[in-house]
Amino acid sequence: MEEDVINEILASYRGDRCELVPILQEVQENLGYLPEQVMAKIARFLKIPESHVYSVALFYAQFRLLPLGRKRVAVCRGTACHIRGAPEILKNIEKSLGIKEGETSEDLEYTLETVACIGCCALAPCIRINKDVFGNMTSQKVEKLFSSMSGRGKNGK
């Protein structure tokens, strides 16, 4: 299945090295990340070293080399959220999920990240899980939210 998707994507390009970024974008849009074997195939298609594909994928923050969790948890680190306790909320979420910022849980259920601003300053501190925003977060709300979502309690269990 993945192989068919990659072949279809590559078939729509001429094989010019200047097409690397658009190819990587399209692959990630379809697969959610850039698997190692796919980047090797792209390198062969474009007749460039694999190291060049990797360096471009690592240079741009938009590209991911690992799959994301089904639930993307974003903690706002904007000024209003920071002042109202976002750093403590982040620590609580890390404890609840058993992962650190920038990590994905082993079961691929959660990815934890921080963002510059969610845009809900009046509800600070706030978090976003996929497209849902949760405001006025406290340590107790974090524990309750993640326990109810997946049956996880403390330490991601």
- Domain spans in the chain, listed from the N-terminal domain onward: 2-59, 71-156
- The pTM assigned to this predicted structure is 0.73
pLDDT digits (tens, 9 = 90+) for 35-75: 999 999 999 999 999 999 999 999 998 999 999 999 999 99
For residues 133 and 94, is the Cβ–Cβ distance under 8 A?
A: no
pLDDT band at 149; cut points 50, 70, 90: confident
- What six digits make up the tokens of 6? 């990659």
Q: Closest Cα to residue 78, out of 87, 70, 67, 65?
A: 87
Q: How far apart are CA 97 and CA 112, in angstroms?
A: 9
What does CATH list as the number for 71-156?
3.40.30.10
Question: Is 2-59 assigned to CATH 1.10.10?
Answer: yes
